[in-house]
Amino acid sequence: MAGGHKYLIEDYLGKRARVYGGERAVLVGIIPLGSAEEEWETFDELRALAYTAGVLVVGHLTQRRSRPDPATFIGRGKAEELRDLAAALGADTAIFNDQLSPDQARNLEEITGLKIIDRSQLILDIFAQRAGTREAELAVELAQLEYLLPRMRGWGKALTNPGGRIGTMGPGETKMEIERRKVKRRIQAIRRALKEADRVREIRRKRRKSSHLPQVAIVGYTNSGKSTLFRRLTGEDVLVEDKLFATLDTKVRKVALEAGHFVLLSDTVGFIRKLPHQLIPAFRATMESAREADLLLNVLDASSPRVMEHFRAVGRILAEEVFSPGEPRPPVLHVLNKVDLVRDSRQEGLLEELKLELGNYVEVSAKHGWGMDELKRAIIEALGDRWVDLKALVPYEKSGVLGVLGKLGRLEVIGNGERGIVVRLVVPSSELPRLKGIPGLVLMEA
């Protein structure tokens, strides 16, 4: 895990609060009656999440029921079945596909003797392992502590022994109460640190805005190929892994689509269903990139048999978590990625059905570079009113202006006249007032 906060989580909450990797786990889930398909897919995702966290999945246990048992989620009989299955398979951990209440987790631990981890806890730990900046580390640590604070149920006797140290409430205060106060103080300290990070990020945001370049944000379901596409468009060597949440920290780079057509491109964290609500603040950079964007590129894995569900899940997350009701949204260009992996007629039929819903889309293979020119042209078309293409006359005595014009966008000298140098300009439309204010510069239609 990045940074030192993993030790804090252990010290305050015990080793049973975390996933370490190398553990042997049984996956556990409820399949609600009448809604099996989507739940089975989230179960497949749970397996992928466990793999991402370095956990070895040795078995699974599912149960069909209309609603979770309030005491043990799966019922006492099923919990005892889980205990026996884990013993037979040599598993030490059970990972549940839904969020458990503190009481459910405690009861399950007592019945099974296993470490009990739920989907939210697993995702939080993956984020903690992959946070690459100090701000991301703090945001994830805050999410972990806020999630685990009500779940401090005393792993072992250490947190239930009375303490009488200086600074405690007295001899009757338990170690648990002392540790709770420590966690609350740490939460307050992190929130103060994140406020300072917000201030720094706001300065960067204003600097990007002042560039007047169109902003394009790459969004999409996790593991759809967003980082591969970002690397292909920018030429940057960014992390690309076949794991969920390979990218957590938003990256922003200037990209030339065509001569004179520049954009600020941001790569963001992938979305997933059943995202822990505590992690929403950790998505703040991703959300800001999406809210401020002039265009969203929604990357979809065309080779996934669940591509339709992924498309709808991203739409729900954008609507419910990223944008407020009634808030203006940027247009969306859908990018069907990994088309090189589509090899059967069933998947082709699924894509044809999806295309009817998408409307505006481009098919690419970011890995092999297929369709990149078409994608760039589609971005330019979607942002068509963000650039102007015009001619200008630069008087000979004002030739020093050429250096200024060249920094604004594409500059091409197309001739010399009696009165000066004739140039062609492709610049952001927001720079037009600045061009009109340059003394002696005469603007003409292209």
- CA atoms within 13 A of residue 337's CA, in its CB half-sphere: 27
Distance, in Å, from the CA atom of 140 to the CA atom of 129, rounded to the nearest integer, reads 10
How large is the average pLDDT for residues 153-182? Answer: 53
Answer whether residue 238 shows pLDDT above 70.
Answer: no
Distance, in Å, from the CA atom of 387 to the CA atom of 255, rounded to the nearest integer, reads 15
Q: What is the DSSP letter of 330?
A: -
Which region among 144-148, 199-203, 292-296, 402-406 has the lowest average model confidence (pLDDT)? Answer: 199-203
pTM for this predicted structure: 0.74
Q: Is the four-CA dihedral 402, 406, 409, 412 of positive or negative sign? A: positive
To 10 degrees, the CA torsion angle through 395, 399, 400, 405? 80
Which region among 34-43, 105-114, 305-314 has the lowest average model confidence (pLDDT)? Answer: 34-43
More confidently predicted of 163 and 96: 96
Which residue segments constitute the domains of the chain, with CATH numbers given?
1-210 (3.40.50.11060), 211-382 (3.40.50.300), 387-445 (3.30.70)
- Output the pLDDT for position 243: 44
pLDDT above 90 coverage of the chain, percent: 31
Q: Which of 213, 211, 317, 212 is nearest to 265 (CA)?
A: 213
- For 370-398, b/e burial (b = at least 16 CB within 10 A) is bbbeebbebbbebbeebbbeebbbbeeee
Neighbours of 305 (CB within 10 A): 12
Cite the beta strand spans of 312-435 per DSSP E: 332-337, 361-363, 387-395, 410-416, 420-428
Answer whether residue 169 shows pLDDT above 50.
Answer: no
Mapped onto helix, strand or coil, the DSSP state of residue 253 is: strand
How large is the average pLDDT for residues 317-331? Answer: 85
Convert the pLDDT of each residue in 89-129 to its tens digit: 999 999 999 989 888 988 999 999 999 999 988 888 887 77
